Amino acid sequence: MISALLALGLAAGAPFPLPPSPLPVQDTVKGKVVYEKWCAGCHGETGAGDGPAAAYMLPRPRNFTGAVYKIRTTASGQLPTDADLLRAIDEGLAGSAMPAWKGRLSDAERRDVLAYLKTFSSFFADTSQHVVALKFGGEPGGGTSAEALKVGRQFYDSIGCRKCHGDQGRGDGPSAPTLKDDAGFPIFAADLHQSWRFRGGATAADIYRRLRTGLDGTPMPSFSDLIDQKFLTDEQLWRLAQYVRSLSPARTPEVRDVIHAPRLAAALPAAPGDSVWDRVDRYWLPLVGQVIRKPRWFGPAVSGVWVQAVHDGKSVALRVSWDDRTRSPDTTWLGFERRVLETVAGDDSGGGRTAGPFPDQLAVQFPRRIPEGMERPYFLMGTETDAVYQWRWTSAGGSGAAGGAVGGLARGLERFDTLPGGPAAQTSYEHGEWRVMFTRSLATPDTANELQFAAGRAIPVAFFAWDGSSGEHGNRLAVSTWYFLALDQPTPPRVFVTPVVVMLLTLGLGIVVVRRVQRRQA
Amino acid sequence: MRRAMLAVVCGVFVMASARERRAEPQGGATIAGKIKFTGAKPANPKIDMSEEPKCKAKYQAPPTEETVVVNPNGTLANVFVYVKSGLPESYKAPAPAGGVTLDQDGCRYHPHVLGILVGQPLEIKNSDGILHNIKAKGTKNRPFNISQPTTMTSTRTFTAPEVMVPLECNVHGWMHAWLGVLPHSFYGVSGADGSFSIKGLPPGTYTIEAWQEKYGTQTASVTVAGSETKTQDFTVAGK
């Protein structure tokens, strides 16, 4: 009877709100199947973020039971929207182990698994919870202008970003060594020079959203109250987001296999800060944890190195720059280092897991000879019988002429024998960035052990980095694969002459042909 | 005529509700006591405020954390004592009289331990004028994390009873406060003389719990009638 009346009322256009258009059906039973197959390995059967793989990860997988999510469009403290969660599932979370699932799972599977993971927390069933995406205005234009960036920088200082993210944004602020997430795990203040590793996306709009919503469960707060209380305007917060964006390269660096070292007519750069380096292409080479030889290391601190090289026909100069929030050995980070070692599981235990004031280190690796074919020594520091030639630098090496660098032969991770002649090295550390410049003559007397550089050849090269304040030393390091270094040859004169000759010949021939035709017609 | 009557009725209603809002729990029984402390007095870690000269200037001696505050008379401060159970199902707390203030002054929270009613505004004040963030890490209440880079006040409320919601500042890792969210106002926090009192209780038998951030909880059962005052002390042994 009542339903009949209701139906009548609806039919008569009574003021009942229309039912919302039906959502695509979400099936938590099917979602559970998907979850247990693809997600539980990291996030755990009960959603507590404690799957078998979790202990090897930093940052740890999300614990769904508390329904606390970093990447949202809702105010701090609110639940995420379905769209927020689906975005993380679809696109993954850059800079973490969470991959993108779009394309790997069907639309229905992703929707179902979303519905299932919401069942891990009672908050989602609580109808009194408000889940409303904040209204974000559009990005104001001119975001890369000097004026906009100046305003952004002003608020970077005035709202205290530098406390955690550091003066230049490399996550080296005074509060950084104390940071923990809500579960008590150590957490790094983001390195704002690596936007491609931001969990919630790399655009200025993504950064603006994180400023408005905060990253719940982490030390990163929401700044929305500041707009409400007129401490800053919405536009000024956008300028801050644009300033933060400007700290990273405009585009995600593309990984290229060959590092070109131009030949300079002038002198090689004299220091790591020499302006010559500003005019030389830089190459981003990603590094990953050493997970091959035991004890393995799953928490590499150095995510990659920027490499530049030049030569002058006699010597080669190589500059390696990388972000490292600590100038190790640094005792202010010992507590943080201890927490990292307690958090990231490995094969070693006891004494091997003791925190200490370890130095930062870098190794640049070459084969002993330029290979003729495709054969290269084993990338992970060679083997007992097939040694590799390395330059090794350590921050504890003092400021002698060698600048803390030596040359030598590595025969696997465990053995390194120093050679008498090494490269010269100069180092700088500023605001969370190491720059180490190696210089060595192309040819050396020890042709048996030391690589003899030659222009126009593809010289295999690999990089290894240790961050002492993350407990890295020995096997605990970040590694790259083999890349190539190519010392450009001076451009031979025929490169310039040949095209001119060819053009002249073509013109001459053309004239001859045209004349003949004209004569015939005449 | 009708309108006038309506106005009078409304006026009376408003007055009545205003009186009710102002009303402290009157009459009823009281549970009062002291938190005694025995054993070795632990040393609280010193706080290095050299990064924050503005805060550092507010102290003559180097400030310490407030994990265990033993009073000169040998009692313990900052112990949250509250009625955990025993109130009749039908009990409904009167609407809260205004908000509760948590001040950030000298890079420490004042008070260090506080209670609040569900729905009662928590006024989070920054008297330091330097960057603090306030992170609430409840599990029954939604956690939040807001920034206060200047002298300002932010207001938040809590939706569910929870003892305790930890509050912290991540800029200053030593800053911790504890918020007991309750559906009623039968709680007290031991002060500089180690005493607490819970007033205005209806007659009944209550489980009261004493919570301390390092030493955890203790409970006691107390029966009160009329407007009597019962004494219930707790003893915390230092470790």
Task: Kindly give the pairing relationship between strand B234-237 and strand B29-38.
Answer: parallel
How many whole angstroms separate alpha carbon B21 and alpha carbon A448? 91
**What chain A residue is nearest to B132 in terms of C-alpha separation?**
A160
Which is nearest to B208 in space by CA: B173, B233, B237, B174?
Answer: B233
How many whole angstroms separate alpha carbon A262 and alpha carbon A281? 9
Do B149 and A68 make contact, defined as CB atoms within 8 angstroms?
Answer: no
Q: What are residue B135's DSSP bridge partners?
A: B145, B168
Mean pLDDT of all residues in B132-147: 97
Phi, psi of A278 (to 5 degrees): -65, -20
- Of residues A14 and B28, more confidently modeled: B28
Q: Which residues of B touch A158 (CB under 8 A)?
A: 149
Q: What are residue B55's DSSP bridge partners?
A: none
Q: Which residues of B touch A160 (CB under 8 A)?
A: 130-131, 147, 149, 171
Render pLDDT for A290-324 as a digit per residue (tens, 0 to 9). 999 999 999 999 999 999 999 999 999 999 999 99
Q: In chain A, how many H helices and how many E strands?
A: 12, 14
Mean pLDDT of all residues in B220-234: 96
Task: Kindly give the pairing relationship between strand A388-394 and strand A405-410.
Answer: antiparallel
**What chain A residue is nearest to B156 in terms of C-alpha separation?**
A77
The listed CATH number (2.60.40.10, 1.10.3720.10, 3.40.640.10, 2.60.40.420) that belongs to domain B26-237 = 2.60.40.420
Q: What's the gap in Å between the CA of A219 and the closest CA on chain B? A: 6
Do A128 and B159 make contact, defined as CB atoms within 8 angstroms?
Answer: yes
**For chain A, what are the domain ranges?**
20-125, 146-246, 258-487, 493-522
Q: A509: number of CA atoms within 13 Å, CB side?
A: 6
**For chain B, what are the domain ranges?**
26-237
Render pLDDT for A224-248 as a digit per residue (tens, 0 to 9). 999 999 999 999 999 999 999 999 9
Render pLDDT for A13-44 as a digit per residue (tens, 0 to 9). 444 444 444 455 678 999 999 999 999 999 99
A 200-229 residues with CB below 8 A of B?
A: 214-226, 229
Q: What is the mean pLDDT of chain B?
A: 90
Q: Are A318 and A276 in contact (CB under 8 A)?
A: no
Fold classification of A20-125 (topology level): Cytochrome Bc1 Complex; Chain D, domain 2 (1.10.760)
The DSSP symbol for A254 reads P
The pLDDT confidence band at residue A354, using thresholds 50, 70 and 90, is confident
Q: Are B79 and B211 in contact (CB under 8 A)?
A: yes
CATH class of the domain comprising A146-246: mainly alpha
Mean pLDDT of all residues in B187-210: 97
Do B143 and A179 make contact, defined as CB atoms within 8 angstroms?
Answer: no
Mean pLDDT of all residues in B104-115: 97
Which is nearest to A410 in space by CA: A393, A427, A388, A432?
Answer: A388
Q: Are B104 and B135 in contact (CB under 8 A)?
A: no
Q: What is the CATH number of domain A258-487?
A: 2.60.40.1190
How many whole angstroms separate alpha carbon B218 and alpha carbon B196? 15
Distance of CA B127 to the CA centre of its chain: 19
Q: What are residue B83's DSSP bridge partners?
A: B208
Question: In b/e form, how buried is each residue of A372-396, taking b as 16+ CB within 10 angstroms?
Answer: eeeebbebbbbeeeebbbbbbbbbe
Question: Omega before A269 cis (within 30°)?
Answer: no
Q: What are residue A486's DSSP bridge partners?
A: A260, A458
Q: Does A231 touch chain B (CB under 8 A)?
A: yes
- Of residues A499 and A195, more confidently modeled: A195
Q: What are residue B182's DSSP bridge partners?
A: B117
Q: Do domains A20-125 and A146-246 have the same CATH topology?
A: yes
Q: Does A256 touch chain B (CB under 8 A)?
A: no
Distance of CA A232 to the CA centre of its chain: 31
Do B170 and A217 make contact, defined as CB atoms within 8 angstroms?
Answer: no
Which has the minimum average pLDDT: A199-208, A253-262, A401-410, B30-39?
A401-410
**Taking CB atoms and an 8 Å cut-off, how many pairs form between chains A and B?**
82
How many whole angstroms separate alpha carbon B219 and alpha carbon B74? 21
- At A7, is the secondary structure helix, strand, or coil? helix
Q: B191: number of CA atoms within 13 Å, CB side?
A: 7
How many whole angstroms separate alpha carbon A35 and alpha carbon A54? 15
Residue B164 has pLDDT above 60, yes or no: yes
ipTM above 0.85, yes or no: no
Phi, psi of A411 (to 5 degrees): -125, 75
Picking from B142, B143, B154, the nearest residue to A225 by CB comes out as B154
How many whole angstroms separate alpha carbon B69 and alpha carbon A241? 43
Render pLDDT for A64-118 as a digit per residue (tens, 0 to 9). 999 999 999 999 999 999 999 999 999 999 999 999 999 999 999 999 999 999 9
Residue B171 has pLDDT above 50, yes or no: yes
- At A474, is the secondary structure helix, strand, or coil? coil
Question: How many percent of chain A have pLDDT more than 90?
Answer: 84
What is the number of other CB atoms lying within 10 angstroms of the CB of residue A290? 24
Q: In chain B, how many H helices and how many E strands?
A: 2, 17
CA angle B195, B198, B202 (to 5 degrees): 155
The pLDDT confidence band at residue A397, using thresholds 50, 70 and 90, is confident
How many whole angstroms separate alpha carbon A285 and alpha carbon A362? 14
CA dihedral A269, A274, A277, A278 (to 10 degrees): -150
The pLDDT confidence band at residue A351, using thresholds 50, 70 and 90, is low
